[in-house]
Chain A
Amino acid sequence: DAGITQSPRHKVTETGTPVTLRCHQTENHRYMYWYRQDPGHGLRLIHYSYGVKDTDKGEVSDGYSVSRSKTEDFLLTLESATSSQTSVYFCAISEMAGSQPQHFGDGTRLSIL
């Protein structure tokens, strides 16, 4: 299995609070991704990174920000969580974008009450 660790694995918080999810990899892959997975929608890309301090928006980036200060860590922040952000969040890594598979962590289940 690819060395990807997501933390926390589960979190319950209240509307309006800030939340940060962490993805840590030990593979030294250049590309890292944050997805959310909701019933009926499949995996949707939130943000991605193509190198340290290089990030870009995905399909559903509103309300989320990311940071990548070193190769191994990619952080996803919800500045002010809303109930619509209740979801399962997955981090993925890849050596090459679009020509090598992405490998996924086991996800963070986030509930916003």
Chain B
Amino acid sequence: GESVGLHLPTLSVQEGDNSIINCAYSNSASDYFIWYKQESGKGPQFIIDIRSNMDKRQGQRVTVLLNKTVKHLSLQIAATQPGDSAVYFCAENSGGGADGLTFGKGTHLIIQP
């Protein structure tokens, strides 16, 4: 079946810089997307979501961009902090049924001091 993927498995950024994490999805029928953050030893934590009728959505220090033309999703984190170090992964509702979401494998964001 189709699945969500990530371009880079590891991303290293300087503290204070902006981070951009990318995600490619393959199911053009998906209409709901989510970004999660997972810290070591914890469960995935919801960050932000976006529906297909939008191309941008902002939260606190985070922005999600959706480009349906090229089936691309990105998460921008402003002024990256040490607490942002984690694995980030995207998810899409490709199934459309009660089984819900299809998850990508994740990108490990490392913050350099």
Contact = CB atoms under 8 A, between A and B. Distances in A.
Q: Is the interface of A mostly helix, strand, loop or mixed?
A: strand
Nearest to A48: B99
B22 interface: no
Contact of B43 (A50, A90, A97): A90
B93 A101 contact: no
26 contacts: A31-B100, A33-B99, A33-B100, A41-B105, A42-B104, A42-B106, A43-B44, A43-B103, A48-B98, A50-B98, A56-B98, A58-B99, A90-B44, A94-B100, A97-B100, A98-B100, A99-B93, A101-B34, A101-B46, A102-B34, A102-B91, A103-B46, A104-B44, A104-B45, A105-B43, A106-B43
A102 B100 contact: yes
Contacts of A41: 105
Contacts of A42: 89, 103-106
Given A40-B105, A42-B104, A107 B99 contact: no
Contacts of A58: 99
B82 interface: no
A98 B103 contact: no
Contacts of B105: 40-42
A77 B91 CA distance: 26
Contacts of B98: 31, 48, 50, 56, 97-98
Interface of A: 4, 31, 33, 40-43, 45, 48, 50, 56, 58, 90, 94, 97-99, 101-107
Interface of B: 32, 34, 36, 41-46, 49, 51, 89, 91, 93, 95-101, 103-106
B1 to A, nearest CB: 8
With most chain B CB atoms within 10 A of its CB, the pick from A40, A58, A101, A103 is: A101
With most chain A CB atoms within 10 A of its CB, the pick from B36, B49, B101, B105 is: B101
Contact of B96 (A50, A90, A98, A107): A98
Contacts of A102: 34, 46, 91, 100-101
A107 B42 contact: yes
